[in-house]
Amino acid sequence: MKGEVVLITGGSRGIGAAAARRFAEDGCRVVINYCRSREQAEALARELGGWAVQADVSDPVQVQGMIDNVLDKFCQLDILVCNAGVAQQKLFGDLTDADWRGIFGVNVDGVFHAIRAALPHFIHRKQGRIVTVSSMWGQVGGSCEVAYSASKAAVIGLTKALAKELGPSGITVNCVAPGVIDTDMNCNLDEQALQALREETPLGDIGTPEDVAACIHFLASPAARFITGQVLAPNGGLVV
User: What are the catalytic residues?
Assistant: 148
Nearer residue to ligand NAP within complex by CB, 83 or 228 = 83
Q: Residue 145 Cβ, how far from ligand NAP at the closest point, in Å?
A: 10
Closer CB to ligand NAP, 50 or 125, in the complex: 50
**Residue 103 beta carbon to ligand NAP: minimum distance, rounded to whole angstroms:** 10
Query: Residue 236, interface with ligand NAP (CB under 6 A)?
Result: no
12 touching ligand NAP, by CB under 6 A:
yes
Residues in region 117-156 near ligand NAP by CB under 6 A: 133, 135
Residues 6+ apart with CB under 8 A from 34: 10, 11, 12, 40, 41, 52, 53, 54
CA nearest neighbour of 7 among 127, 61, 23: 23
**What's the angle, vertex CA 12, arms to CA 11 and CA 15, rounded to 5?**
55
DSSP state of 50: -
CA torsion 135→110→101→41, rounded to 10°?
80
When asked if residue 228 is in the footprint of ligand NAP (CB under 6 A), the reply is no
Residue in 240, 200, 84 with CA at minimum distance from that of residue 152: 84
Provide, rounded to whole angstroms, the least separation between the CB of residue 56 and ligand NAP.
4
Cβ-contact 18, 183 below 8 angstroms: no
Taking CB under 6 A as the criterion, the residue among 123, 185, 189, 227 binding ligand NAP is: 185
How many Cβ atoms from other residues are within 10 Å of residue 107's Cβ?
27
CA dihedral 195, 201, 204, 206 (to 10 degrees): -60
| Closest separation in Å from C-beta 185 to ligand NAP | 4
Kindly state the number of chain residues that form the binding site for ligand NAP, as judged by CB under 6 A: 30
Residues shown for the chain: 240
Interaction pattern, residues 27-66, with ligand NAP; x per rule: CB under 6 A = ------xxxxx------------------xxx--------
Question: Under the criterion CB under 6 A, does residue 183 sit at the interface with ligand NAP?
Answer: yes
Binding residues for ligand NAP (CB under 6 A): 9-10, 12-16, 33-37, 56-58, 83-87, 106, 133, 135, 178, 180-181, 183-186
